[in-house]
Amino acid sequence: MLQQPGRALDLAGATKGGQQLFFANMSFQRRRAPRLTPEQRAPWNRRDKNNLPFQHGTGFTAEAGVQSTLFDMAPDPKVIAARVRLEDSDLTRYCAAIVREHAERAGWSKRQRNDVIRSLRLLQILRPTPTAKIRATDVLQLRQYSGNVISTIDVLAAAGLLIEDRPTRLERYFAAKTSTLPPVMKDQLEVWLQALTEGARQAPRQIPRDSQTITVHILGWLVKK
């Protein structure tokens, strides 16, 4: 399944990160590797608009399907560290020009730039779907691997690869103030919060409010409570 078009089967390379398990007695037929087209014959020689080498078919999307895991197992830190030192990825090549631009504009040290590149490699290794866009909450998990979080998020945002799913300051404040309320009351207040932050087109209609205004409203009903 991992055989590259027009290349001989590399068993050692295909299994170096683990082996895929299949359920017994289920029909399975490995697809044949198609012949190389002229465009595919030298994929590493092709370059993008930033003059960076790209593998054929490189792309990232927010709608990429995620394969569910059969067993939940924590990654081995030693294996992760070894792969980060040896492997490059589509993600690091895709973001290389942006990393270089950020480093020059913000005056990053060589160490900080290398930390960001290492963090991008970590993300590519740890994610279940390598071609999916990256959630900000996934980047936060890099702290346990001594990864660079803030600068990596900036690079991913500039590259158009970031899905911002971190709770806002208002959402964190609301969660802290409603944590002891009964579930039914909390659910109703969440509907109220959504109507104020996003607005409502159905009656009772509501235009979106500023976060500071909503904070004042929260303080108001806390005093009344």
Domain interval for residue 186: 169-224
Same domain, 82 and 185: no
Q: Which of 126, 144, 163 is the last residue of a domain?
A: 163
Over 60: is that where the pLDDT of 63 sits?
A: no
Same domain, 63 and 139: yes
Same domain, 119 and 152: yes
The model's pLDDT over 167-180, given as tens digits with 9 standing for 90+, comes to 888 888 888 888 88
- Residue 83 resides in a domain: yes
- Residue 1 resides in a domain: no
Same domain, 103 and 59: yes
Confidence of residue 193 (pLDDT cuts 50, 70, 90): confident
Same domain, 159 and 173: no
- Residue 18 resides in a domain: no
Say how far apart CA 225 and CA 219 lie, in whole Å. 10
* pLDDT score, position 96: 87
Top pLDDT among 65 and 103 is at: 103
Same domain, 139 and 186: no
- Residue 72 resides in a domain: yes
Q: What is the mean pLDDT of residues 68-89?
A: 72
* pLDDT score, position 38: 53
Over 50: is that where the pLDDT of 40 sits?
A: no
Q: What is the mean pLDDT of residues 28-43?
A: 53
* pLDDT score, position 46: 42
- Residue 78 resides in a domain: yes
Q: Among all chains, which residue has been given the structure tokens 């991008």?
A: 120
Over 80: is that where the pLDDT of 21 sits?
A: no
Same domain, 90 and 183: no
Same domain, 145 and 199: no
Measured at the alpha carbon of residue 174, what is the angle toward residues 170 and 178, in degrees to the nearest 5?
175
Domain count along the chain: 2
Same domain, 144 and 64: yes
Over 90: is that where the pLDDT of 196 sits?
A: no
**pTM to 2 decimals?**
0.55
Same domain, 89 and 58: yes
Say how far apart CA 34 and CA 43 lie, in whole Å. 15
Say how far apart CA 50 and CA 102 lie, in whole Å. 15
* pLDDT score, position 55: 43
* pLDDT score, position 51: 44
**3-state secondary structure at position 177:** helix
Residues contacting 215, CB < 8 A, separation 6+: 170, 173
Same domain, 112 and 173: no
Over 60: is that where the pLDDT of 52 sits?
A: no
222 phi/psi in degrees, rounded to 5? -70, -40
Q: Which of 148, 163, 178 is the last residue of a domain?
A: 163
Confidence of residue 152 (pLDDT cuts 50, 70, 90): very high
Confidence of residue 112 (pLDDT cuts 50, 70, 90): very high
CA nearest 41: which of 6, 8, 9? Answer: 6
Same domain, 146 and 115: yes
* pLDDT score, position 213: 87
Over 70: is that where the pLDDT of 1 sits?
A: no
